[in-house]
Structure 1
Amino acid sequence: MSAGYKTATTGLLEDYAKETEGLECLGERMALLDGQGHPIAVIEITGVEVKPFSEVTWEHVQAEGEGDVSLEEWRAGIAATGIVWAPRLRTAPLWSAWPSVSSRIDPLEPAA
């Protein structure tokens, strides 16, 4: 991330509500933390869209920087992995219509 490799992320809208967390705002700056909770970079939110999971674009998936080779692979991978919200996708009859949040991020600088 700090090298600019990941410039997007996706999550489910309902998770924002469960965590009583508002959506990110354009221009909002945040600290990016490592696995131990230490700041490693500052990022800026450059885009936020709420759309059905099935409408997340290939361009957005590529910007996530996870190495997926197609949109279909990404969708199948999400539904088959241990990602926190993946089990709900496997069991929901209309999972492709679930509202998702697609955010664009820009790494600004290493944390001081």
Structure 2
Amino acid sequence: MLAARLRGSLALMEQAPWAEEAALEVVDKAWLVSETVAPSAGEETVAPPASGTTRVIASWLRLLGAPLSRMQLRRLVEAGELAVSVQPDGSHHIALDDALSLARKVRDQPSFNPTHPMI
């Protein structure tokens, strides 16, 4: 039912400035679900990629138990804490190993959590 409603709105959504990014996110999630639920023939599990876009890396970080959001990854790239490589197709990739080590470092840092409200 939801798919039918979305299909009816497809022409309108295609014109939105965020349409391409949303479509790529749907494709990434669909691939991740299909490879996790029904892996390709001969493979028992899906091996994480060595690098990927912030969307792909954020998904893998969540699966690996060290979640960082896409925005957190982008901020780390902008701060120069995470290296980025530009692919031939123009996409920006970050290394999963680098992101995973930073995610674990961020997770292990104590956060400010007051026990009573500040006035």
TM-score of the two chains, using structure 2 as the length reference: 0.25
The higher-RCO structure (CA 8 Å, 6+ apart) is 1
- The structure having more radius of gyration, on CA atoms, is 2
Identify, as 1 or 2, the structure richer in helix: 2
Identify, as 1 or 2, the structure richer in strand: 1
